[in-house]
Structure 1
Amino acid sequence: MSYADKVFISMCNDILNNGYSSEGQDVRPRWEDGEPAHTIKQFAVVNRYDLSKEFPIMTLRPTAFKSAIDEILWIWQKKSNNVNDLNSKIWDSWADEAGSIGKAYGYQLGVKHKYKEGEFDQVDRVLYDLKHNPYSRRIMTNIYVHQDLDEMNLYPCAYSVTFNVTDNKLNAILNQRSQDILVANNWNVVQYAVLVHMFAQVSGLEVGELVHVIADAHIYDRHVSIVKELISRDVYEAPKFSMNKDIKDFYEFTVNDFTLENYNKGEQIKKIPVAV
């Protein structure tokens, strides 16, 4: 069994069996038919993945590996807030006529800030510190910028990453205020696992742990039966992850530089309803 499967199954069982239902509350999300989208949730879920041992991709169903990487490059490498720079359509619901999602996600990572060493945006500051001061306890990013929230078409869900080097291994904590577990959980885990691999390689470091902290880990009411079926499926061993070892500049990575070998997985779940 993939370790990512083990974590996912355990988390879902805990939410379903011990979670708190929002039934009876006034909730913001709605289904396409206008009905309120209620959830069962757990507060402060913490999942840990040792990237040096295994790549954390589920085998219960396929996680769109290349599309996940394309999105993380859109945010962290291109620092874009325009869906026209993204190959998938997953952000289209939050984009305006010009394709912009407002001052959100990649936009915030591209804003330059003044430091004693000069001006850097948040990504370049992380890369600078990992190269020049890797054992700093101040290597982090934060895109939940209150002064710009009114100009964001969607408040950031995965909003902060703290990087920490221990014994030449790069570790990261991904903080997420909210997560639709069925739709987005392993997608985000895969993305930030790849990001840690990229940052480690270009900084001359090894990969360590990815710690995923989810403040509100929820399963939507119309997803419950889907999740129960999903976590009852057969599981497989994790595939082998590899990336182009020749790349030493973070901005040179493309989706074609990453591969999975022997990725056995269950059938995809189609037409999952998404609350907006």
Structure 2
Amino acid sequence: MTSHAEQDYLDLMRRVWREGDERIDRTGVGTRALFGATLRFDLSDGTVPILTTKRVFWKTAVRELLWFLTGDTNIRPLVAQGVHIWTDWPLDRFRRETGEAIDRDAFEARILADDGFAARWGDLGPVYGRQWVAWPDGKGGTINQIAALVDGLRRNPASRRHIFTGWNVADLDRMALPPCHMTYQYQVADGRLSGILYQRSCDLGLGFAFNIFEAALLLRMLAQICDLEPGEIVWMGGDVHVYLNHGHLVEEQLARTPRPFPRLDLARRPDTIFDYRFEDVVVTGYDPHPAIAAPVAV
């Protein structure tokens, strides 16, 4: 057993980079990939898995998770908060369909300034948040999977059905990007809440850092709302890959030694899981190595 859970992540990255099957992927960039991996992170001591071998912009991840919980699928609220992580997909679509050569800043400025433009070009389709809180029930209504999860954890903690997913087959073709972190399951044991995140596809170089932090944060929020203590977050990856143009990131990160994970505290307990605010999430003791820039494959 390794002394630091982040080392398990680094070992997985090393194995994927050195032993992974090399192939051309959907983006055309190319990856090295392995199939099937598991990592475990203990949350019971109050720490949170924010990677330390490179700086992770965890505040952006908090804003993204809270956006998911609103059910919104338009980038406008994110852009208004200075969050750009979803802009590349609608920007790429705008360029392809209009032929207009526009940079990201100009595109986002139009998203903020023009309601009609934002409605037409800022929407991502029925991505994560829509499925989480407004899954179509086939009868003209919707199902709030997150509210149902909270209710189930409170009323029947021993259930094996504490699950929510974003993988709605009927809606996949309308999504800017089908869900990568697609299915979450939870278990209550001895008053502690543990969770599993299954990812069908994971970009170890960029995406993983956000995915594991947001999964841990969501578990902590659920635990607080349901009067439980945090347990463990288990991450399971299907197609686990590193992009071929991330070689510099891999080498830099693998050369670094993990530092202690920071602590996560929730400043207040809101009335519902949907009432958390950005300022409620308090991270202390985060002392990472410097950030490593790498391109996003769209």
Q: TM-score, normalised by structure 2?
A: 0.82
Q: How far 1:275 moved relative to its partner? A: 1.3
The separation in 2 between residues aligned to 1:149 and 1:112, in whole angstroms, is 13
Aligned to 1:63: 56
In the TM superposition, 1:38-187 aligns within 5 A as: 38-53=30-45, 54-75=47-68, 77-86=69-78, 87=81, 88-95=83-90, 97-111=120-134, 120-187=143-210
Q: Comparing 84-93 with 176-185, which one deviates more in the overlay?
A: 84-93
Q: Count residues with an aligned counterpart.
A: 262
Aligned to 1:196: 219
CA distance in 1, matches of 2:135, 2:254: 43
Please name the residue that 1:231 is paired with: 254
Q: How far apart, CA to CA, are the structure 1 residues paired with 2:7 and 2:229?
A: 24
Q: Give the secondary structure class of the aligned counterpart of 2:238.
A: strand
Q: Is the 8 A contact 2:162 2:187 kept in 1?
A: yes
Letter in 1 for 2:239: D
Compute the RMSD of aligned alpha carbons.
2.0
Sequence identity (%):
30
**Where does residue 229 of structure 2 map in the other structure?**
206
Distance change in 2, residues 1:133/1:126 (3 Å) = same
Q: CA deviation at 1:172?
A: 0.9
Deviates more, 1:208-217 or 1:119-128: 119-128
What secondary structure does 1:178 align onto?
A: strand
Cα offsets for 1:42-75 (capped at 9, x unmatched): 1111111111133211111111111111101111
- In structure 1, what is the Cα distance between the partners aligned to 2:208 and 2:5? 10
Which position in structure 2 is the counterpart of 1:16? Answer: 17
Residues 167/225 of structure 1: CA separation in 2 closer, same or farther (3 Å cut) = same
Structure 1 stretches of 4+ with a deviation exceeding 4 A read none
Amino acid at match of 1:51: L
Residues 95-115 of structure 1, C-alpha deviation per residue, up to 9 Å, x if partnerless? 36441100111111122567x
State whether residues 2 and 59 of structure 1, in contact with CA within 8 Å, keep that contact through their aligned partners in structure 2.
no
- Give the Cα–Cα distance (whole angstroms) in 1 for the partners of residues 282 and 256 of structure 2: 25
User: Tell me, what secondary structure is at the counterpart of 1:174?
Assistant: strand
Question: How far apart, CA to CA, are the structure 1 residues paired with 2:75 and 2:289?
Answer: 30
1:33 equivalent in structure 2: none
Describe the superposition over 1:97-136 as per-residue Cα deviations: whole angstroms up to 9, x where unpaired. Answer: 441100111111122567xxx9741111001111111111
Q: Is the 8 A contact 2:54 2:289 kept in 1?
A: yes
TM score, norm. by length of structure 1 = 0.89
Cα deviation, 1:181-210, whole Å, max 9, x if unaligned, reads 111111110001000000000000111111
1:112-171 superposed Cα distances (whole Å, 9 cap, x missing partner):
567xxx974111100111111111111111111111112111111111111111111111
Aligned to 1:91, what secondary structure does the other structure show? coil
Q: Matched residue of 2:70: which SS?
A: coil
Q: Read off the aligned partner of 2:48 and give its amino acid letter.
A: F
- Residue 194 to residue 90, structure 1, CA distance change in 2 (3 Å): same
Return the offset for 1:231: 1.5
- In structure 2, the residue corresponding to 1:71 is in which secondary structure? helix
Letter in 1 for 2:70: K
Corresponding residue SS for 1:8: helix
Is the deviation greater in 118-127 or in 223-232? 118-127
